[in-house]
Structure 1
Amino acid sequence: MIEEVRLKNFLGYEYAEVRFTEGLNLITGRNSTGKTAILESILYGLYGAIPGIDQRLLFSKKKDARNLQVYIKFKSPRDSSIVEVYRTLEYRYGRAYTSSIRLFINSKEIPLESQEDLRRKITLLLGVGYRSFNWLVYIRQGKLTEIIEPKKEEMDTVFGITLLREICEQIEQAGRRLSKIDGLDVEAEYRNLIMNVIPIYEERLKEVEEDLSSLSEELKQLEKEISIMESPTIQILINKISELEKYRNMNQEIKNTRRELLSKYGLESIDSVKREESRLKKELEDLAREIPLMEMELRRRLSESTSISSKILNLKELLENQMKLLQSGKATCPTCGQPISPLIIHSLIIDEENELKRLREEESRINVEISELEKKLEEKKQEERRVRERKERLSALVETFKELDEREMKIMKIIKMLENEVEGLANSLKIDIDLRGERLMEKVGRLIASREEVELKKAKKTELEQKLKEKMKLRYEIARKLEREKNRLREVEKRVKALSLSRKFLEKLTESIEEERKAMLESISYRSLQILDSLTDQKVYRAILIDPENYSVYVHPVGLIEPIPAVYVGGGHQTLISLALRLAILEYIGFRNLIILDEPTYGVDQENLEILLNYFSKLKKYMKQVILVTHHGYGVEEADNIIKVYKDSEGVSRVEQ
């Protein structure tokens, strides 16, 4: 709450002291007496500037006015501390400059670094900044209704959105810095490192390590071969292996003979021969029972076929006679002489033809069965002969297998003895051989070499050692480069993650700004209508709406289908709507301490002037302190503190309280 303002050489004042109270402070006086100058002094005393006014124009018009002073005292709404501000402006050589600023809180002077430092402290103590104070708290003459078609940047500043957008811009700038590394696009560089550079180095390193492993193994094997070639025991080993392979071949021939015999008879093993012999015996017994039964069934079927054939012949003969009788047209039976109706004859013919058809089908079926039975009988007889012959051959096969088993046992004893000898010799030479492997002689035979071959292998050994040394050097270089690129990848990855986070944060912040703006404007719109309804009893509007895109205000009058722009309603209503909006916004941002109105009824006709002033008197419900400049003589009855302004005979502004 503003408590006191003192002016010296400020605009039209040589010196003035103005005291303010809670409630409605009414500044009244004729035109051009200095009412607005008091309001400007409040703004200047608080923030050290007045928008649109060169500081040189603030000095009194007196010729000797070279020193301007403004003192303001207010109670902080934050902690109820008493704040006093002293500002001194001097005019020298055509230039105005601040020569002194002082700040006292509860009579204790506070050190100041600069005017900007003072402005920051005032903003904290008062709870509202310079731009918001100019736009919402201090409403200049003719500017009250600007709120219904405001400048978007002003409203963004009031609601703190400008600051958030500046933060967004800073995040974008940080993102742009993060998006480049050594002049390259960081995401493209990340993909290049992941997909190209590092995989290429890793693949090269893998190839070199594989070459190293191969060279090391080859060198180790070569050293072993040279050692073996120079040993006299190798020839003894070769002879033993040759003898071992001879007996193994003999044993393999026995196995092949056995396998061929088993394959010839379709058997898996010797045990299966006995099982097969038992099976064949049972099969012969079964066939001995089945064949007589099949022969008996065949005879029965032949008898049935003969009987049916006889019936067919008789039926054909009877059918021919009846057809002749039907064709002759005779009405008596030639056999018994009884009269017969042609219809009866025709019916008999049909029945006999059906019976004939049935007998022929049955005859055909039986003949097919006879044919199949004869075929099966012949097959069974052939099978019986085949089984009998196979059983006889199996008996001879058992004897052959006995002979093969005896030979195999003798050979296996010799093979076992030779394997033990070969294994002992190989161990003495430190040769790793597989006794069960194929081409054993071929592998060991390669170890016998001439002196020239030994020298060639030694030369190759020297060559391999040099290659191994070069490969190890190459591996070191590739590993070093790979590690360097991996370190770069870690740095790039950090940047990519930071860039992704900044983008997500920026996107979330942008969404939050718009969501908060929408929710905030809905709340302010709703509260504005409540305040408007409390200021007037007309209740002509269903809603007040604020466009979130440009902050333009719309009202929805009762009786209309759609809202209309607030600029289209009457001047008095525009004033009240604007006032309600400003109060709602101040309430939303938590500032309910002060509102300054300079001629808010500017442009209102005489008839509505007193009505509006009556509405303004209700502002005390929403603001602890109201400072109102009105036309001379209006609103005095509602005021808690009246400040009269006039000019003396010399044209100097004076204050009377």
Structure 2
Amino acid sequence: MRIERVRVENFRSHKISEIEFKPGINLIIGQNGAGKSSLLDAILVGLYWSKRLRIRGLKKDEFTRIGTRGAKIEITFEEDGTKYKLLRDFSRNISYLKRFDGGEWRHVTETNMESVSAFIERIIPYNVFLNAIYIRQGQIEAILESDETRDKVVKEILSLDKLEAAYENLKDVVRTIEERKKSKEDFLKKTENIEELIKLNEDKLTETLREINEILSRLPELKSKAREIEEEVNGLDNLRKRITELELKIEKLNSKKNGIYGKITQLEKGIEERKEKIKELEEIVKILPDLEEKEREYQRLLKFKERYTSEESRLEKIINRLKGIKEELEDKLKNAKEKAERIRYIQRQLEGIEESMKELEQFASKFEEVEQMRRQLTRLKQYLGGLRPEEVKELLNSKRIEREEIKVKINEINTKIGEVSQGIRERKKAIDELRRAKGKCPVCGRELTEEHKAKLITKYSKEIKRLEEELEIAKTNKEELEKKLRELENDIAKLSSLSKVAEQVMELEKELEGVDLEELGSKKNEYEKLRDRYSKLKGELKALSADARKVPSYENRIREIEEEIKGYEERLKELREEMRKLGFSTIEELSSKLKELEEFHNRFIEVSNAKKELEELKKKLEDDKKELDKLFEELASVEVEIEEISEELEKIKDKYSEEEYNKKRNELLKLREEISGMEARKVELEKRRDEIKRLIDDLKKNKKEREEAKKEIERLDKALKRIKELRNKIKEYKTLAKEDALNRIGEIASEIFSEFTDGKYSGIAIRAEDNKIKLFVVYDGVERPLSFLSGGERIALGLAFRLALSMYLIGRINLLILDEPTPFLDEERRRKLIEIMERHLKKISQVIIVSHDEELKDAADHVIRIRLEDGISRVEVIA
């Protein structure tokens, strides 16, 4: 994966930020809190936002910029030659991933959060990204905490977890096959006597079919006889039912006749009572015309009073409310005019402050520039460790001269060692020749005697011993000089680095000569005070302007309200004039008149009700007379119907015999029971027949399945053997792959860690044990536990191991992200990190580093600076 562009909106301190990342080392620098690490978090959230991140405690509220509806993240990246564009819009809770294909962008996932995360997980698993690609701030040494966690990370990076899953899955397959085989074997054992069972059930089927045929031959005759008797019973039963039906009808008609007699008596009594009541009401209603005139006057005055009271109250409330609003508006108008005057005063103040700020702004900028130079000078001097810049060059030249002198001495010693070694070889050769020689001496040519031979051998042996002592002294001197030469080489390397720093120190000191920092600081403070004063006045001006602009609207509204009050007062005056025209000067006079008329009103209501009652009684009297006539007609009809039904009943009773009916019914019941029993037996036998047939079919099927089972057991045995062989091969491959990867990771980590510690540790050792990966450091040729390391060395080891993981993945994953790798490194290790970046990290296609350390710029290919201005992160491309 290579990230090309990241764009964020409303993400923490970033309102809108966009960064293009290029191949090589991309460095994001800036002060703490500027929003550097937020961009890396945006990459993590953009790629992997899902339940996993939410479960880990990361919430949308934590990264959403305050006062906005939600963050928005866009990431453009390239993977395996294909360009992708990813979007997460948290304000609308949507997400998508598109691929650039055929000149246009095409969707590759559904538009939801989880689908996008699942696709990214297939490209780079989350744990691989978090442990081998993205090294978060403060998490460098976390990889050292647990052997088990380290093992889990390595397995995921190497995809060994998939091999383990395959190994375990094959175990389940073996168990499934063994269970299948046992099932087949059990089936064969259970069906050993299959032939006997088939013969037994075929005999049962023959006997069942014989019994069914016997029943089928007898049933038709019985059913025919039953139908004949059933027809006779049904005829008698119909006569019996008709007798009962007619007797019930006569009983109901007699009851109905008695009811009609009761209604007639009651109606006749009610008619007489209504006639008496009608005479009384007719006398009362005669006075109604005299009361109607008084009632009309009463209603007219009552309606006016109700309207007058309601309208007067409503108008007075409106007038009072409008007067209250008018008073409030007058107060606001006065206040707004005062604020308008304050605005004019502030504007004059701002004009003066702007002039003063223009004069002081250059001094404030100069002070910031000088302060930054002074801080840089302090850091550089600390790096020099108390040495003066000129002393660094003197020391460097001195060390170089000393190095050349030592090289000359080593060459001289090497010459001497060669000469002495040659002398030793010559003398040993002479001794060998003397021991073999006879006759003349091979050295001096004299006659060689045993005595002379012994003297010469003794002489050469003493010379060899002397020369060997000289050789040992020379080698010791050489080792001491070579050790001193290595120390000088290290000193020269350090001083060469310090020499560049010393030049920067002298340049900065030269630039700071003659700068009056106190005066600049005073001007800066004065500028900042004016800026604060200007900002406060601007804020006050903004707040005042809104109210001051309302003066005309307040004045217009007051005039409108005065007109409204005047209109409502006129309507109130018209209402009171209307009451005077009715002959009343006050509402009390009107109320008094209504009280006088109220007695006539109440009497009018009583007489009106009597009139209504009279009309209702007359109508009911007519209705009762009609009802009485109908009842007499109904009584005559019922008496005729009773007589007709009684005649029909007598005729039917002559035809019906209860004794004959019971005799035929009992005979029919016995026949039906016999038929029912035979049919039930037939159904039972047919059911048994079907069951036996199914059983015979199943047995024959099992017989065929036995042959198939025998063949399947053979196939399962072969498959079981192949799968067990495959499991063993996976296990062997997993072990070899893990060992090979750990060896390579160990080599890379050893080289980086050794550089970090200036060779104090020759490397690291990695051992895999069960589900653990153990780490050791090699010191003085001996493996030491991690507890042997200091705090700074642990950071260095953690960084070395993580870098080794990333570099091992080169070719599969060419991306590394480091978040603040230097805070826990001392000056020397920070310098080493720069060297490692230049030598090792250049091998990775794309590296993204976030740091506040300006020194890392020297090793970066592209530099991006982030500043915090007014609470908002700003992005600036430097190189």
TM-score (structure 1 length as normaliser):
0.49
Greater helix proportion: 2
TM-score (structure 2 length as normaliser):
0.38
